Amino acid sequence: MTEFTLPDLGEGLQEAEIVTWHVTPGDNIIADQPLVSVETDKAVLEIPAPVSGLLLRRFAEEGDMVAVGAPLAEIDTESATDAGAIVGDLPDGTSGKPSAERALQDRPRAVPAVRRLARESGVDLSTLTGSGPGGAILSRDVEAAAARGTPIRGVRRAMAGAMARSRDAIVPATVTDQAVISAWTETEEPTPRLVRAIVAGCRAEPALNAWFEDDRLTRHAAIDLAIAVDTPDGLFSLVLRDVGRCTDVKARLAALRQRAMTRALTPDELRGGTITLSNFGTLGGRFAVLVVSPPQVAILGAGRISEECVAENGQAVVRPVLPLSLTFDHRVVTGAEAARFLGAVRASLEHPSLEEEQP
């Protein structure tokens, strides 16, 4: 027998959520075939079978959280092809049915459609008592359990954990401003312009492109920008590496967004951001008190662009205005540092000619 445990997935991860089992007890499996898919910090990873054999038991089901090193499956490496031929009494006093078959009998009785409904609803079938013939679990049993409360899963569970960590660790402060963007061309896209403006802000005030953890402050030379992206599955923070040297922000961001929509992101594309951008104005809202994700110390938010009356050369004129919100960790970032950063961001947005000075 081989007991397969959840392997170390790197990046200091301590647990993962079971997303999809690709095999069921009683299946003959081959080494390296897909065994199970797990989700870790918003990335879905496929884990292959470590050996060939007969799958006897799964120790966790879809939706369960499993710690690194905890058992995932039990595999009989000697009975992959002849388990069904065992007859007579076994030492444990059973009737001679293979342990895989007994495991199947122990599973909750439900047709595939009901099992799928349970997965989609976040309901553990093993906790239900079926109301159908012979104790079979029916759709109404799953729906009743879901109505009593559905636990959050996957991306939203990761998001909830991140928000709790920020609440416990960060001392937030927020400063706001606005940029008059009448110098933008008609085809100018806000997000690439905001990325370049953040680069200008970090160069003017490096204190915001930093991590603070374990009472140690680390200022980063490269700007690895995390960009908050809304998807049907929840909020992702996609990391654009070294944006200060990036020559095609639009293309790189589009590629990352596409992978986010198809859940094909790698862990490296979701971790290690040194500062965050949230362009929430594409959805609505002008100013915001944002959430800093530790160990980062700052997040810049861009609100909805609107036509407003502003003073220009002593005259009242109507111009497009972009609201800006900067939330920072006041434990390590001073108000003066935040103001210098935001001033440089605003100057970059209002004067596109400054872009020529960027690499």
Under 8 Å CB-to-CB from 82, ≥6 apart: which residues?
A: none
Convert the pLDDT of each residue in 195-239 to its tens digit. Answer: 999 999 999 999 999 999 999 999 999 999 999 888 777 788 899
Same domain, 256 and 274: yes
Q: Which residue has the higher pLDDT, 114 or 339?
A: 339
Same domain, 137 and 217: no
Q: pTM higher than 0.95, yes or no? A: no
Same domain, 94 and 172: no
Same domain, 330 and 222: yes
Q: Provide the token pair at 30.
A: 């081959």
Same domain, 208 and 187: yes
CATH of the domain at 92: 2.40.50.100
Same domain, 144 and 245: no
- Domain around 336: 156-357
CATH of the domain at 142: 4.10.320.10
Same domain, 87 and 222: no
Q: Provide the token pair at 158.
A: 């990761």
One-letter amino acid identity for 152?
I
Same domain, 100 and 177: no
Same domain, 12 and 66: yes
Domain's final residue, options 92, 116, 151: 151
Question: E strands within the chain?
Answer: 2-5, 15-21, 28-29, 34-40, 43-48, 53-58, 65-67, 71-76, 172-180, 210-213, 216-219, 225-231, 234-240, 275-278, 298-302, 306-312, 315-329
Same domain, 97 and 160: no
Per-residue pLDDT at 174 exceeds 80: yes
Residue with tokens 């104790």: 135
CATH of the domain at 228: 3.30.559.10
Convert the pLDDT of each residue in 98-107 to its tens digit. Answer: 544 554 455 6
Residue with tokens 């990036």: 246
Same domain, 11 and 116: no
Q: How many independent structural domains does the chain possess?
A: 3
Same domain, 292 and 162: yes
The most confident of the ranges 1-5, 120-124, 202-206, 309-313 is 202-206
